[in-house]
Amino acid sequence: MSSDPPRCPIPADDALVARNQLMRDGYCIVPGVLQGDFLERVRAFADRFLDEHPVDHKHRYQGSDFHILGESRWQANPDERRYHAPIVDELVDFPEQRAVAEAIGLEGLDSGGGIIILNKPPQGPPLYWHQDCMHWNHPRSALPWPTQVFMSYYLVDTTRENGCLRALPGTHLRRTALHDILPPAHGPEIQAVEVDHPGFAEHPDEVDIMAKAGDLVFADARVLHAAWPNQTDVRRPLVLQWWSVFPFPTAPSWWEGDMPAELSLDPDGSYDPTRVPGEHLKASRSAPSS
């Protein structure tokens, strides 16, 4: 066994820029983390899985929503109803991925142990604006740093034409008019709408995130995001992992601001899960104290 540390495909300066963007905008992108044979194997796995598993109509806007556990995690608690595969362990435990996440300053990294295969089939429809946080009653959702991030690899180069990701920078910390009109993400109400619903509309502040195959996209679960339709004849799949970070009430070791008041609230209080942002999502952030 070699004891070489994993290749960290991000210089320290770039890591700081990425961290600052994740904090300010709610997402960042690190190029070329998944490469070569491993990228090929993940793409082949996702392609085969999508070829073999029809997608329920209710998932047409997400393109697919297949949750797959790592083999070792599944063996520890076998459940015949759940998909599982060894390559998922490889992804979750991928040393370069962990090295990048740590380089940008993510601490207390804790994986759900699985991936989700999402997709945009050829000529597939857009994905509505949404945020994926399910803990808006919990004080952790009011913090200036993330406590849950997704890490995604698109498996082909993405552009507006084939349905790249879109984001509304800063909306992980700041309420917008869109929050008031969006039904909860991935629930029956939004799944039943047509694409002329305002949840699909263009927004003046939106940006395209044109990830290339194997780039690692980090996003705060709270940030509003969407995806363009796929206007090509080629599938545009991705694999997404959920990670918890900075377990409440810990602050990042590098945090230099004031400690948020919410940190003193009971971490184990009974906060009913909800996808609907309440008082923890402020209309605007107060200016930093000078």
Ligand X SMILES: O=C(O)CCC(=O)C(=O)O
Binding site for Fe ion (CB under 5 A): 132
Write down the least CB distance from residue 123 to ligand X, Å: 15
Q: By the 8 A CB rule, do 226 and 120 touch?
A: no
Structure tokens at 289: 């104290």
Query: Which residues lie closer than 8 Å to 251 by C-beta, 6 or more apart?
Result: 145, 259, 263
- Give the per-residue contact string, 139-168, with ligand X (x = CB under 6 A; - = no): --------------------------x---
206-265: contacts with ligand X (CB under 6 A): 225, 227, 238
Write down the least CB distance from residue 209 to ligand X, Å: 8
Residue choice 25, 89, 132, 206 for contact with ligand X (CB under 6 A)? 132
Burial class (CB in 10 A: 0-12, 13-18, 19+), 186: middle
Write down the least CB distance from residue 165 to Fe ion, Å: 9
Between 16 and 210, whose beta carbon lies closer to ligand X? 210
Closest CA to 59 of 116, 113, 131: 116
Q: What is the spatial distance between Cα 265 and Cα 143, in angstroms, rounded to a whole number?
A: 12
Q: What is the spatial distance between Cα 109 and Cα 88, in angstroms, rounded to a whole number?
A: 17
Q: What is the spatial distance between Cα 217 and Cα 240, in angstroms, rounded to a whole number?
A: 9
51-80: contacts with ligand X (CB under 6 A): 62
For residue 62, the partner it binds in ligand X, Fe ion, none, with Cβ less than 5 to 8 A by kind, is: ligand X
Which amino acid, residue 279?
Answer: E
Using H for helix, E for strand and C for coil, what is the string for 199-257? HHCCCCCCEEECCCCCCEEEEECCCCEEECCCCCCCCCCEEEEEEECCCCCCCCCCCCC
Between 89 and 132, whose beta carbon lies closer to Fe ion? 132
Between 120 and 235, whose beta carbon lies closer to ligand X? 120
Radius of gyration (C-alpha) of the chain in whole angstroms: 19
Residue choice 34, 69, 118, 143 for contact with ligand X (CB under 6 A)? 118
For residue 88, the partner it binds in ligand X, Fe ion, none, with Cβ less than 5 to 8 A by kind, is: none
Write down the least CB distance from residue 7 to ligand X, Å: 27
Between 24 and 186, whose beta carbon lies closer to ligand X? 186
| 127: contact with ligand X by CB under 6 A | yes
Query: How many other C-beta atoms can be found within 10 angstroms of the C-beta atom of residue 23?
Result: 19
Write down the least CB distance from residue 118 to ligand X, Å: 5
> Which residues make up the interface to ligand X (CB under 6 A)?
62, 118, 120, 127, 132, 165, 225, 227, 238
